[in-house]
Structure 1
Amino acid sequence: MFKNEPNLKSTDDNTGSDDYNSNLKGTKNQVVRFFSGNPAVETVEGFLHLYKEVFDSSDLLPSSHMISIICIPATFCLQDLLQFLRPISNDLELIRIVKPASPNEYMALLKFRSLDSAHEFYKTFNDTPFNSIEPDICHLVFVAKIECISSENGGGKAIPNAVELPVCAVCLEKMDESVEGILTILCNHSFHAPCMAQCEDTTCPVCRYIQTPMPVAGNKCIQCSIHEDLWICLICGEVGCGRYANGHAYGHFKETAHTYAMQLGSNRVWDYVGENYVHRLVLNKMDGKLVEVDNRGNEVIDPSTLLHQEEKIESLSLEYAYLLTSQLESQREYFEKKMMYLEDQKCKELEEAEIQCEKVKMECTEKNNIIANFNKDKMALEKKCALLNTKTTKLQAELSEEREMNKCLRENQLVWQAKVTNLESKLLEKENEIKELQDQLRDIMFYLEAKDRLKETKDISQEEIAQGQISLQTEEPHGVTGSSSGGGGRRNRKKK
């Protein structure tokens, strides 16, 4: 299924589960980087390209004999995995361990002898815990096909219809996948699955490489949180990224003057002052002295210059001790200054907080006094409001009474207006009658007065009286002025 070729590229078509998408954070276009093999001998690495097929029915499972167990924790060793797969060990044809790029986990590819057994395994173990103690969940995905292509010429071509059966290194028997399940561990060595289940060692029986990835510490840069090109300060232990990443380790050196930093993984030590590696000087486990080693970690010994090297190493040891002491002293001074600065800053902050607290207490007291005054005013206003409500009720009652009285007065006014109109009409009639009577009385008085005057007048004859005229003065209602002009029924009684 897999070929031991460098720069392996795999194209996986998985269906039947969406849980794997949550484990692909940080990947692009559903691509997962993986590797397998012993780094000291041979390493196979590449990318898993994942595609997803959509089915019309959720109950319909893909027709594939291969299933992948993704995100197996590194604490779950190979024996635990085989114990987990023991109920379906007779249905397994092939098992392969693959490590993705993410730390502390690995994957297992399973090939079943029949399609029904693959579907039964998926329905039974998908989204179930590996055991009743740990919370890790078993996530399964179907693998439609696996294509292994090298980066150079498209992969090696096998001989048609010719397959060489490998030999199990435990029982020295031929491994035929049609007879018994084959297990390929992380170093690409294959064995019978029952043979590996009986081994208690966690390393490969051939190359002694680990069978499953070992759990590692999740180291990352403190500032940018990347996991690549990490350096740890040998003075304070801060982890930062190298210059070819974001340069936070070099920034830490500029800030604190810590000279030495060790690269995680390769254990190489860099001197920022001398701008060179100093990791070749290491301590001997026997006497604790510094020794020189080569690139592979082997001690370099020259018999002719052994004494000179010992003296040189001792001087280097003293120099290294002096450098370390000076670094620790500078580190102590740096942290003392930092602590004094922080102490002064905290004292200032504490004083400001106390002043602010006093201000808040005074404001709180003022607010409480204002609230007490407001409560007193509120009680007084409530009393006034109650009195005003009482007065309003009385005024409303009086208003209703006044309205009733006004209504009655209006009705009486209409009646009296009618009576006054009748009296005015009658008074007008009486005035007319009085006027007529006054006219009549005036005529009578005039007649009587004229008669009396005529009786007193003796010089006027009857003819003159008959021809005379009478004139009246309107200005003097009680006086009468007459003139005789001849002719007429009434005569003037004065004539000369």
Structure 2
Amino acid sequence: MRGYHIRLIAQRRTDISPSQPQPADTYLPSLLFQHLPAHKPKSTARRNALFNPQDKDYRFGPIRIDWVDFEEMSKAPHIVGKEKRNGRGTVEASFIPQTRTKSGSTNLPEGTVHVFRDSASKPSQEELESIASTSTTDNSDGVMLGVLAVPSWMTPSDFLTFVAPAAEGMAHLRLIRDSQPNRSIAVIRFLNPADAAEFVEAYNGKPFNSMEPEICNVVHVLSVVIDTEDSASQTISRFHSSQSSICPVCRYSQTLRSSHPTSSSTRSTIPIPFANPSTPTLSSCSTCSSTTNLWICLICGNIGCGRYGRAHAQQHYENTTHLYALELETQRVWDYAGDGYVHRLIQNKADGKLVELPSAASSTGIPPRDGALGPSQADALSAEKIEAIGIEYSYLLTSQLDSQRSYYEEQTTELRSQVGELKGLVERLSVEFEKERTNAKEAALWRESEERAQLADVLKDKVKAEARAEKATELAKKFDKELKEERAVSAGLMKNIGKMKETVEHNDAEKEGYIAKIRDLEDQLRDVMFFLETKTKIENGEGLEAELAGGSIGIPVPPKADTKKKKLRKR
């Protein structure tokens, strides 16, 4: 992960004196992670860049630092003592680690925020000593990480809620806000490098929420410098670093390097078209009609919204490969291929030539001049470089215009082919429509004739049905008369059947009585026969049978039915 340097440049107040000190609601710290006072938060809304009555730098604006300090109580142990119940002996102590946080907001003087990205090459020892002696950084222990492009709606509490699982390893949190929307930077200091590595792995590329497209971009912060002049950026240029003004679309580093094929000797910072269209009063995105954060294409003039809207300017570049877009509010130009701002081309009023404006990261030192008058050898070399840059720009602009012409020619050819296809389609549809209309008329006539024939058949069927209905009525009357006669006959038969049933039931009852009598007589006959046989055996018998002589035999009387029912009820 390539390292980044953050520079907070505050505007120097020339009117501060012992009689008129710095306002109490602003504070300029020397270190980012030092103890900061708590102020009432001021608005950091963007100012109108076109209205600047005091001729101030348009980059300068309100800066606020929202801070949270985590104090681990284990450094100052919290001891809780209690005496023994018996009131004697020493006091027993128990260790209770606690974590406290302090938070607030600190308003800084107006200024700007620079972000520099380290190049691949490492600085030498002399350069390290030079940067250490000429700049003031926070050299405290720990690892600093930065989160670029924190959404403007996110407060420190919201950010800590988002990174809640990793909050235990944090020592300090600083949320730097300036006048640009969604350009807030969160700087986090970890005491343990392992916690910082876990934070990068867990949150780099993670969206802040499921409803917005913003994602968490975590970078390694090497240093944070707070100064009142732009000397820090000049020092960083000797440190082989390039300024990374935050891109409003992709949020990646923005360096001013050439991306088109040229010779290595002429490769340098690419100037861009110096057209300076004025800001329209009612400009809007050509796709979504948004009126904020607008960018205009310098090749074709298309207006699209930036990353904080729906990124239609980025989409226009992807569709047309037009490299340059100008932000209407700040008049800054973005190079999509070079991935950086390139609004540094000015025109010399004397000869009309293009001159490159030195960047803020370039050195401002002036080489000594000799006593001779007229242009020196360095001036001639600079003129040759400027002329080479102008030629390179001309080639680049020509290639861009050629690509624009080819793009429009392709679009025109595609539209013509589409129009031809649409004409053929319309002709085919017209022929098919005429055929369908003719077929529909013929079908309507055929259905009308069929309906007439069916109507005649229906009328004939109606006459026949009426005749059948009259016949059916006569038959119904006849059948009704016969039904009444049948019912009378049936009533007589039912009476005779009832009488016959009564006779049969009477006969059945008499039959059952006779059968009962026959069974009673059979029982009596069996008893008599048994008596006679037994009597004969006793009279003729010997032994035990002789002993039975003179005895009597009795038949037990069966119990009455009513007595049995009473016993059953009792049970």
Q: TM-score, normalised by structure 1?
A: 0.35
Larger radius of gyration: 1
Of structures 1 and 2, the one with the larger relative CO (CA 8 A, separation 6+) is 2
